[in-house]
Amino acid sequence: MKALVFERSLPRYAAARVASSWVPGGGARVGPLRLAQEEDPALPGPEWRRVSPILAGICGSDLSTVDGRSSRYFEPIVSFPFVPGHEVVGRLIGGPDDGARVVLEPVLGCAARGLEPPCAGCASGSTGACERVAFGHIKPGLQTGFCADTGGGWSTSLVAHPSQLHPVPDGLGDDHAVVVEPAACAVHAALASGDVEGATVAVVGAGTLGLLVVAALRHFCLPGAIIAAAKHPHQRRLATELGADHVVEPAGLARAVRRHTRAMAVGDGLSGGADVVLDCVGSADSIAEALAVVRPRGRVVMVGMPGVTRVDLTPLWHRETQLVGAYAYGVETPPGRPGPVRTFELAFELVQEADLGRLVSARYPLDRYADAIAHAGAAGRRGAVKVVFDLQHESRRPTWRTAS
Amino acid sequence: MSPRPGFVLEVDRSTPATLMWHGEGYRLERLPTGARVVYPPEPLEPLADPRGAIRHVLENPVDSAPLSALLRPGMRLTIAFDDVSLPLPPMRRPDIRQQIIEAVLDAAAAAGVDDVVLVAALALHRRMTEPELRHALGNRVYDSFAPHGLLTQHDAEDPDNLIHLGVTDAGEDVELNKRAATSDLLVYVNINLVAMDGGHKSVATGLASYRSLRHHHNVRTMLHSRSFMDQHRSELHSSNWRMGRLIAESGVKVFQIETTVNTDTFPEQFSFLSKREWEWSARDRVGFLATSSALARTPDRVRRQIFHSMRSPIGLTSVQAGEVEAVHALTTENVYRQQLVEVDGQSDVLTMGLPYICPYNVNSIMNPILVMCLGLGYFFNLYRGRPLVRQGGVLIMSHPTPWAFDPVFHPSYIDFFEQVLAETTDPLEIEAKYEQSFATDPWYIHLYRTGHAYHGVHPFYMWYWGAHALDHLGRVIVVGGDPAAVRRLGFKSASSMADALEMAEDVVGRDPSITHLHAPPLLMADVR
């Protein structure tokens, strides 16, 4: 198979860090990522299926990895070398449903790892909370795309456990289907906000995740108002289209929240603020901003992957702010709906209803992976949202190897 | 030699370049042959003895008993005065208000009046700072009243010091400063810089609450005021006059003192700003070149300080006192005597250079909303009869229009610019959708009452001030402005006057007729 492979190499890791300090995504050219012709990954068990990716997205966590900026926290729960890519729509290879399109739910939980009985998280359906992502009959890896045994979406072949596969409805295009996985993250994050009916919700950041969170809030929750901070004009337009009531530039978020909630300004913060703030950036600045604009005893949901940051938590202590993470997905009970439903089911619904395939801005072949990653790293500035690899015709393209 | 009246020049090949204000600076622009330039009249001779003239009118008022006859021991006397928005630029000491208030206080002291309170008639403007109050009133007045809490600034949000006097026939609430309205005598001290000022507007606006002001500070009123500088065709004035009459019927005794000033606007070293370009002396040319070149090398902040420290040599041309309407009729005559310039017909394009100051940015930044208000509100409306530019015509304004705001004076302006104008520039939509929430925002009210902030609703009024022009014009172009800020205002941006004139042709056709308003010094066009 043709694949982008990420290897453990400290010198290349350091080079990626240096390169990415100049330009986000710069780590692709000098870092541990390389294009290679590899053996297809072996099926770990009889029930496992082989999948030929059609489209695979480039996510913020992928960029952090390629740029050598992801937290060392992940070291024990990934295995090298791995093929990145966890936002995947592909076709099943072989079997009675050969050629059927599927979306990958990448979390490698207890079922995929052959662990019985499952952990508490997996038993409740919350696979994102799996306690055993480093154990079982496959190598460590919190998700497909970070595991040496499964392959990943940035290739022409990967393997997946049936528990990870969701059939794509006939009417749903590939552009829509590739957004289902990040949409599921957004649905999970929106519902992690708690009961927001009638509440003021602020969303910091309007990249793919921020926009999807806005859409999910509008679709599944009943917020009184959504205030979104978006840096670039196309992001502001999309945030409005997807359901934000007020869209402002990042520097104006505190003023917008203050005005909407009729709070008073106190120094750099507010006397009151938004009931819930979803931080879809994950930087020190965005966390500080979220803490500054959330009301006392309000909730900040960390949606963007933060890494190592330095933040003054005094306001969190003083205002008794709840700081909660929102990772991946599992099962949800949206307001007004019966029973727990798998997050991916809701994500399929959201992608279709909100026409989220429009977020896919550019497709690249694997050969141009450095350009693709640079584009994803500068998506906002370049008027893009989601950049994806187009794997459909890779088998007919000549194989190309990096100079190294 | 008597001062020359205003003048309309037709540009020909021998006409020198025209001076245009450009914020905290100025430019020389060549206008096309055939363009008209409207110059203000030369300054009228100021009164030789202002203090004597003031004393005279206090004892010889129109349609009123002399001030001394209205004063008695044991009475409550309130003296209200125009705030920092007048005159422009601030005048050299002694300020007119100081001279009048000292004379009124002398009369009150002679009559044995002890209960005297001064009130700055702010309406919804920002509170004046101590240096500004000292400048307007003089140290003697300030030091006599301020330490005892007797020098106050009208607080339109103080429920304990407001009184609802009633509702006019047109359903307008009249709610005023309680101290002023319940005094035995309210003396109002006015400076009339433009024809809009004074009359019943002094008390009915200057001492009113938002509940009262919203009846005439709105889009409908502005669309029906053509112009708001012409009190006989101004719904703004009709509303204030209805309120003023209700105030009088309610038993509030107002002794109005109004003044007019000449067009001697700028100090000697900037005298070229007031002259016709072909009459510039060698000294004027040197002054222009030296100041232009120095200003070009000066940082923005310092340049702003230089201009805002300018004190005008402006001179008093008339003072009249007594009953409000009788006084204001005389005042208006005197304003027209100084400012009116006959202009024959409208043009396709109106050009103007906007200076660094307007009534709402004294000692502060002229933010983009104030640029709009000065150009489309004040200057566009400096007409009687018809606007200088035809319906569907183009207005070209020269101003740097920086995306910059004073967070202390104009906090609600920032939100208005970033949140409201980002969504719409339509005055009616803005009024319907956003005015209430800004007007009642507790944070803006807090800053208005305790700091030096304009009221939360004030940027809306600035936008409404330009509603008539927005309705009338086919396009607005800003020369030399920050493109992003200009775009946010809903206008077009041009890098030079030549480019702007070419852009205007897209709207009004080739070879348009052009009129340039050469102000300040201020003038009022009487368009036939």
How many folded domains does chain A comprise? 2
Which phi and psi angles does A124 have, rounded to 5°? -90, 0
What token pair was written down for B408?
Answer: 């202390």
**Helices and strands, counts by H and E, chain A:** 13, 19
Confidence of residue B1 (pLDDT cuts 50, 70, 90): low
Give the pLDDT score at B2.
Answer: 83
Last residue of a domain, one of A278, A308, A325: A325
Distance between terminal CA atoms of chain A? 19
Count Cβ atoms within 10 A of the Cβ of residue A36 and give its class: 0-12 exposed, 13-18 middle, 19 or more buried. middle
Q: Six-digit token pair at B258?
A: 């109004």
The 10s digit of each residue's pLDDT in B390-440 is 999 999 999 999 999 999 999 999 999 999 999 999 999 999 999 999 999
A262 and B442 within 8 Å at the Cβ level: the answer is yes
Q: Are residues A62 and A175 in the same domain?
A: yes
- Please tell me the distance from the alpha carbon of residue A302 to that of residue A304, in angstroms, as a whole number: 6
Q: Is the pLDDT of residue B189 over 90?
A: yes
DSSP state letters, B272-328: GGGS-GGG--HHHHHHHHHHHHHHHTS-HHHHHHHHHT--B---EEEEEEESHHHHH
Q: Is A258's CB within 8 Å of B437's CB?
A: no
- Are A146 and A248 in the same domain? no
Tens digits of per-residue pLDDT, B322-374?
999 999 999 999 999 999 999 999 999 999 999 999 999 999 999 999 999 99
Q: pLDDT tens digits for B262-284?
A: 999 999 989 999 999 999 999 99
d(CA A129, CA A293): 29
Q: What DSSP line would sit under A198-220, residue for residue?
A: T-EEEEE--SHHHHHHHHHHHHH
- Asked if B318 and B364 count as a contact pair (C-beta separation under 8 A), the reply is no
In a domain, residue A404? The reply is: no
Indicate whether A132 and A238 sit together in one domain. Answer: no
Cβ contact A262–B418 (<8 Å): no
Residues A175 and A293 occupy one common structural domain: no
Cβ contacts of B438 on chain A, cutoff 8 Å: 259
Binary contact (A264, B441; C-beta < 8 A): no
Asked if A256 and B419 come within 8 Å (Cβ–Cβ), the reply is yes
Mean pLDDT on A247-276: 94
Domain termination site, one of A304, A325, A346: A325
Based on the domain organization, do A174 and A31 belong to the same domain? Answer: yes
Q: Range of A209's domain?
A: 193-325
Separation in Å, CA A264 to CA A257, A267, B437: 10, 10, 14
Domain boundary among A273, A308, A325: A325
Give B419's contacts in chain A (Cβ within 8 Å): 246, 248, 252, 255-256, 259
Same domain as A216, residue A173: no
pLDDT tens-digit map of A304-348:
998 888 999 999 999 999 999 999 999 999 998 988 999 999 999
Q: How confident is the model at residue A269 (pLDDT cuts 50, 70, 90)?
A: confident
The answer to whether residue A334 is domain-embedded is no
pLDDT level of residue A267 (50, 70, 90 thresholds)? confident
Burial A126-161 (b: 16+ CB within 10 A, else e): bbbbbebbbbbebbbbbbbbbbbbbbbbbbbbbbbb
pLDDT band with cut points at 50, 70 and 90 for residue A403:
very low
Q: Which amino acid is located at A63 in the chain?
A: L
Report d(CA B361, CA B366) in Å as an integer.
6
Write the class of the CATH domain B50-261. Answer: alpha beta
Q: Is A360 on the interface with B (CB under 8 A)?
A: no
pLDDT at A195: 93
What's the whole-number mean pLDDT along residues A266-285?
A: 94
> Within A120-179, where are the H helices?
120-123, 174-177
Same domain, A45 and A162: yes
- Sign of the CA dihedral with B297 first, then B302, B305, and B311 last: negative
- What digits encode the pLDDT tens for the residues A27-82? 899 999 999 999 999 999 999 999 999 999 999 999 999 999 888 899 999 999 99
Banded model confidence at residue A23, pLDDT cuts 50, 70, 90: confident
H-run or E-run covering B466: none
Q: Report yes or no on A59 lying in a domain.
A: yes
Residues B2-21, mean pLDDT to the nearest whole number: 94
Contact predicate A152/A62, CB 8 Å: no
Count of beta carbons in the 10 Å neighbourhood of residue A194: 15
Q: Per-residue pLDDT averaged across A200-219, rounded?
A: 98
In percent, how much of chain B has pLDDT > 70?
Answer: 100
Dig out the tokens for B31 from the structure.
């206008």
Please name which of B91, B46, B97 lies closest in space to residue B267, comparing C-alpha atoms: B91
**What is the spatial distance between Cα A30 and Cα A12, in angstroms, rounded to a whole number?**
6
Residue A105 placed within a domain: yes
The answer to whether residue A340 sits within a structural domain is no
Residue A297 counted as domain residue: yes
Per-residue confidence at A24, pLDDT binned at 50, 70, 90? confident
Confidence of residue A402 (pLDDT cuts 50, 70, 90): very low
Within a domain: A371: yes
Span B7-43+339-527: which CATH code?
3.90.226.30
Predicted confidence band at A101 (pLDDT cuts at 50, 70, 90)?
A: very high
Mean of the per-residue pLDDT values for chain A? 94
Query: Can you tell me the mean pLDDT for A154-168?
Result: 97
Query: Domain limits of chain B?
Result: 7-43+339-527, 50-261
Other C-beta atoms lying within 10 Å of the C-beta of residue B342: 15
Tell me the average pLDDT of chain B.
97
Query: The CATH number of the domain where A211 resides is what?
Result: 3.40.50.720
Q: Is the same domain home to A92 and A123?
A: yes
Instruction: Report chain A residues whose CB lies below 8 A from the CB of B442.
Output: 262, 264
Q: Do B50-261 and B7-43+339-527 fall under one CATH topology?
A: no
User: Are residue A378 and residue A242 in the same domain, yes or no?
Assistant: no
Tell me the C-alpha distance between B459 and A325, whole Å.
41
Q: Given an 8 Å threshold on Cβ–Cβ distance, is B414 in contact with A259? A: no
| Concatenated DSSP letters of A107-123 | B--TTTTT-SSPPHHHH
Using a CB–CB cutoff of 8 Å, tell me whether A228 touches chain B: no
Q: Please name every residue paired with B341 in a beta bridge, in sequence order, or none if there are none.
A: B525
CA dist., res. B175 & res. B261, Å (int):
31
Q: Give pLDDT, residue B222.
A: 97
From chain A residues 174-193, the ones with a CB under 8 A of any chain B CB are none
User: Residue A397: which pLDDT band, with cuts at 50, 70 and 90?
Assistant: low
Cβ pair B258, B267 in contact under 8 A:
no
A234 and A270 both lie in a single domain = yes
Are B468 and B372 in contact, with CB atoms under 8 Å apart? no
Distances (CA, A) of A183 to A357, A397, B513: 11, 31, 59
Neighbours of A196 (CB within 10 A): 23
Mean pLDDT (whole number) for A248-254: 94
CA angle A244, A246, A250 (to 5 degrees): 105
Chain B residue with the nearest C-alpha to that of A252: B418
User: Are A246 and B419 a contacting pair at CB < 8 A?
Assistant: yes
Residue A168 belongs to some domain of the structure: yes
From residue A5, alpha-carbon distances to A39, A66, A68, A72, A390 in Å are 12, 10, 14, 19, 16
Looking at the complex, does the CB of residue A248 fall below 8 Å from at least one CB of chain B? yes
pLDDT of residue B191 exceeding 50, the answer is yes
Q: Is A265 on the interface with B (CB under 8 A)?
A: yes
Q: Name the helix (H) or strand (E) containing A153.
A: none
What CA–CA distance (Å, rounded) separates B525 from B343?
6
Rounded distance between C-alpha atoms, residue B151 and residue B135, angstroms: 14
Element (H, E) at B9: strand B7-10
Q: What is the CATH number of the domain that holds A18?
A: 3.90.180.10
Instruction: Identify all chain A residues contacting B403, using CB atoms and an 8 Å cutoff.
Output: none
Q: Which chain A residue has the Cα nearest residue B456?
A: A259
Same domain for A104 and A14? Answer: yes
The reply to whether ipTM tops 0.90 is no
Residue A297 region, left (φ>0) first, then alpha (ψ -120 to 50), else beta? left
Q: Please indicate whether residue B42 or residue A396 has the higher confidence score (pLDDT).
A: B42
Q: What are phi and psi of B525, to 5 degrees?
A: -80, 130
Q: Omega into B32 within 30° of 0, i.e. cis?
A: no
Whether A207 and A175 map to the same domain: the answer is no
Residues A48, A54, A58, CA angle at the centre, nearest 5°? 100
Residue A401's pLDDT band (cuts 50, 70, 90): very low
Scanning B430-449 for CB atoms below 8 A from A yields: 437-438, 441-443, 446
